[in-house]
Amino acid sequence: MRNASILLYGVICYVVFFLTFLYAIGFVADAPLPKTLNHPMPDPAGAVGDWIVDVMLLGLFAVQHSGMARRGFKNWLAAWMSPSIERSTYVLLTSLVLILLYWQWRPLPGAVWDVGQGWAWWLLYALSAFGWLVVLSGTFVINHFDLFGLRQVWLRARGISYTPPEFVDSFYYRIVRHPLMLGFIIAFWAIPRMSTGHLLFAIATMGYILIAVRFLEERDLIAAHVEYREYRREVPMICPWPRPKHRGEPDFIPSKR
């Protein structure tokens, strides 16, 4: 009965995440939804309070998303709940913080650029859709169901011990170390109409991605995978341009995992 409850909890957390992810696409792209980055139309006066609320919402997401992802917090959480639902709980709380952001976001007046409705409009939205595709498909290149907690609760329900996923350096991961983050940056910036509020969102999220990946996530990956230190020397972090090879530097042969 306990295992069944854990499995149900994991499934619910995953469903909440997936619906939140789908809403994020429309939220960023200004789809016809109740709330988006630019809807409802903001007050042209541009209240200072709206800026403060938006910055606080973005800061709350950064603190929750990075804080709960640290190894120390994971160990603390797993000490008083089943380790099999630690990841599902993280996914659920991240989704709830995003839902709060969707609900309380205050659109800001003014436009930084607007390309109109011509071919550039279609091109930018196609590029943004490509970014979202990289994000979603990139999770399957590693282990989508482990990343969002389903594998853990499924193994618990079957009475199988959990083993962490192996290090992966294939497909997107041969080009950049963090293709999911690259996909988010593309999706957030490839927009036909960049409002002031959208620009705040794009700058803040890109800044958070660069800082969190460089100083937090990479440290955890080095601790978790012995291969990662050498992999990091060869493959760029987010920008997919080749690195110059230094004289005498040994070739890096990606693993076949």
As a whole number, mean pLDDT of residues 5-13 equals 96
- Encode pLDDT of 146-182 as tens digits: 999 999 999 999 999 999 988 989 999 999 999 999 9
Structure tokens at 46: 């541009």
If one compares 79 and 246, the residue with the highest pLDDT of the two is: 79
Q: What is the pLDDT of residue 117?
A: 86
Residue 256 has pLDDT above 60, yes or no: no
- Max alpha carbon distance in the chain (Å)? 61
Among 80, 81, 86, residue whose Cα is nearest residue 68: 86
Q: What is the pLDDT of residue 211?
A: 94
If one compares 46 and 68, the residue with the highest pLDDT of the two is: 68
- Encode pLDDT of 42-52 as tens digits: 777 668 889 99
- Encode pLDDT of 204-224 as tens digits: 999 999 999 999 899 989 988
Distance CA 103, CA 139 (A): 26
As a whole number, the mean pLDDT across the chain is 90
Please state the domain extents for the chain: 2-234
Cβ neighbours of residue 132 under 8 Å, at least 6 residues apart?
25, 183, 187
Burial of 138-169, coded b for 16+ CB within 10 Å and e otherwise, reads: bbebbeebbbbbbbbbbbbbeeeeeeeeebbb
Among 237, 114, 130, 137, residue whose Cα is nearest residue 186: 130
Q: Over pLDDT 70: what percentage of the chain?
A: 93
Residue 245 has pLDDT above 80, yes or no: no
- Encode pLDDT of 102-158 as tens digits: 999 999 988 999 998 899 999 999 999 999 999 999 999 999 999 999 999 999 999
Q: Which amino acid is at 53?
A: V
For residue 242, name the pLDDT band (cuts at 50, 70, 90): low
Structure tokens at 239: 């920008």
Distance CA 43, CA 172 (A): 42
Q: What is the pLDDT of residue 70?
A: 81
Least confident range from 56-60, 80-84, 88-92: namely 80-84
Q: What is the pLDDT of residue 85?
A: 94
Distance CA 53, CA 59 (A): 10
Q: Which amino acid is at 54?
A: D
